[in-house]
Structure 1
Amino acid sequence: MASSATVTTSDSSMAPEPFLMRDPRTIDWALAGNKQFLITLFIAYVYIVKVGGPRFMKGRKPYDGIKPLIIIYNAAMVLLNCYFVVAFLSKSYLGGGYNLLCQGINYEARDEVTMSMLTLCWWYLMVRIADFLDTIFFVLRKKDSHISFLHVVHHILVVFNGWFGLAYGPDGQVALGVILNSFVHVVMYSYYFLSLLGPSVQKHLWWKRYLTQFQLVQFVMIFLHTMMPFFISCGYPRPHTYIMLSEAVFFFAMFVRFYLKAYSDKKGPSIKGEAVKNKAH
């Protein structure tokens, strides 16, 4: 069981994993470890939002009539991510016996709590794929300026993380990052929802600029927490650690750059409007 991992102080760094171990608990699950699905999904997403979609919308008016659909979508995402925060906490740190400092993976664990955690990770991946819809909405409303490199890469990497976890072990140390990410999505989608309710509500959304700061704090917390397996031996795979650390550094650098550009450039009101569109992980 992942929750039974022993935590001991390590005098020397663990030897790097020679290979990735396919998680036998999810090997027969739909889409788990399916590389063709992942590659096809990413190619289709990039093509639709950067090529096919803008080409389709050329000469057409923005589909502003989909605003009620977007409001419903944002509300649904708030509720789903609230559920993820509570559910992941109850199956890890508040009910699964997880160690907050360092939690390994036991690929042989098939108890009820562990398997329900893995099932939750599968649904988490499905919702992160559904996040692609917000980019589709940008295309249909001809808000191409919001479809930045950071926006597209962020969506792709978050889905990759979910897919990678299901294939090679989604539980363990990464749980805190997933919980933080879900909470950030609650805040972000709440902002999106409120911003669509009209001027009477929008004037109270003065806290927009702090959303990116909130995202940066998230990346720092994930980075520091992910470093723990280097100092404490708990059986968490090194490849997972390397991926999480590199992404935390990448996103922190990109979001700092974006924040400075959005809130330091006196000519950037349109950029500022885009700042909150690039959600965290």
Structure 2
Amino acid sequence: MALIVQLMDDFHDLINKNGDPRTNHWPLMSSPFPTLAICLSYVYLTKFAGPKLMENRKPFELRNVLIAYNLFQVIFSSWLFYECLMGGWWGQYSFQCQPVDKSNSPTAIRMVHACWWYYFSKFTEFMDTIFFVLRKKNEHVSMLHVIHHGCMPMSVWFGVKFTPGGHSTFFGLVNTFVHIIMYSYYLLAAMGPRYQKYLWWKKYLTSMQMIQFVAIMVHAFQLLFIDCNYPKAFVWWIGMHAVMFYFLFSDFYRQAYQKKQKAKALALAEKVIACCITALQNGKLNGKENGYANGSIHTNGSVISNGTSASNGHAVSNGHAKTNGYSNSRAADYYIKASPDLHYRAMAAAEMNIN
């Protein structure tokens, strides 16, 4: 036990020695373990304890709560985005290489504060998942969702502890901008059905998230090829996080949207096939009706058009009736033979449309 305590003390000394002295005594900054404990508690609550607790309960109606929460997130994210701009990204920072400003200048301290508040915002976003659980929307509590929210506070903690400013804050700048748009969407969605017509851009949210991670990857990994006074460990840390989240979100996009598009295209193909079959069946029916009409016998036993007659007014033959009957038989044969081919072509067209 004494050995464990000694190792913990040495670990804390190492962290505090190498950490940024401006944040050493800020809330939750002296050690990573409180943040880790909160993240693990979040995972346990949202994946196990929460769903179990709500299993035999009715879902909560949280419309007003969600409106207030999403409005708060829009305002909070807007303020963080503004602070990131004023802390350096508005005309002072370089997008190519930006070392950490470790001074106590007003601009540097402003960015340090923005970094800590960005870290704190990751805890407030846990409420996204908690609201899903309380509303029994467990299908939204996906592995992507939990990994994304559960990893972020721990990841940002290291940034605030060791590099509160400089190159890595580009992540926060882009992320807060995306969150302004994302929580604006959630706000409109929470306001009820009459606002649904304004939410046509839902699928572009995931695309925007993916573009965000590509931008972060490019911005981070460029430092592997140029000389910049910025820790390479954090280049890899931020870049690999962006890579991981990019592939997680791209997989979600394929499952959520491309499969739906494929299903719609296949449904359209089935409708095309059904229309073709109906048209062929109508041709078959019309062929029969025309055949009988052309061979009909009217009053006094006389044959009206397209036929020859024998004694007592009986029709001996009816050329057109036979011809129409033959056409009707050919239409039926075509319907039987063409259906598989039509199905194949429609499916191929659907696949081409998807791709």
Q: Same fold (TM over 0.5)?
A: yes
1:249 is the counterpart of 2:243: yes
Calculate the TM-score normalised by the size of structure 2. 0.67
Letter in 1 for 2:89: Y
Matched to 2:94, the amino acid is N
Q: Which is higher, the Rg of structure 1 or of structure 2?
A: 2
RMSD: 1.8
- Write the distance in 1 (CA, Å) between the matches of 2:198 and 2:104: 48
Report the TM-score when normalising by structure 1. Answer: 0.84
Q: Which amino acid aligns with 2:256?
A: A
Cα displacement (A) at 1:240: 0.6
Of 203, 206, 210 in structure 2, the residue corresponding to residue 212 of structure 1 is: 206
Residue of structure 2 equivalent to 1:87: 83
Residue 62 (structure 1) aligns with? 59
Greater length-normalized contact order (CA 8 Å, ≥ 6 residues apart):
1
Q: What does residue range 195-210 of structure 1 map to in structure 2 within 5 Å?
A: 195-210=189-204
Distance 2:169 2:180 in 1: 17
Q: Residue 22 in 1 paired to residue 22 in 2? A: no
SS of corresponding position for 2:48: helix
In structure 2, the gaps of 5 or more residues are 1-13, 264-355
CA distance in 2, matches of 1:88, 1:204: 29
Q: Could you tell me how far 1:186 is from its partner in structure 2?
A: 0.5
Give the Cα separation in 2 of the matches to 1:94 and 1:264: 38
Partner of 1:262: 256
Residues 162 and 170, structure 1, Cα contact 8 Å, conserved in 2: no
Aligned amino acid, residue 46 of structure 2: V
Displacement, 1:146? 0.5
Q: Secondary structure at the match of 1:86?
A: helix
Q: 1:98 aligns with which of 93, 110, 121?
A: 93
Opposite residue 61 of structure 1, the aligned amino acid is K
How many aligned residue pairs are there? 248
Q: Which amino acid aligns with 1:86?
A: Y
2:140 to 135, 146, 166: 146
Structure (1 or 2) with the greater helix fraction: 2
Deviations 1:87-145 (A, max 9, x none): 111111215x21121101244x2222111211121111111110001111011000111
Query: C-alpha offsets along residues 47-99 of structure 1, whole Å, 9 cap, x if unaligned?
Result: 111111111111100011x220111000010011111111111111215x211
The answer for unaligned runs of 5 or more in structure 1 is 1-18, 270-281
Partner of 2:31: 34
> SS at 2:44's partner residue?
helix
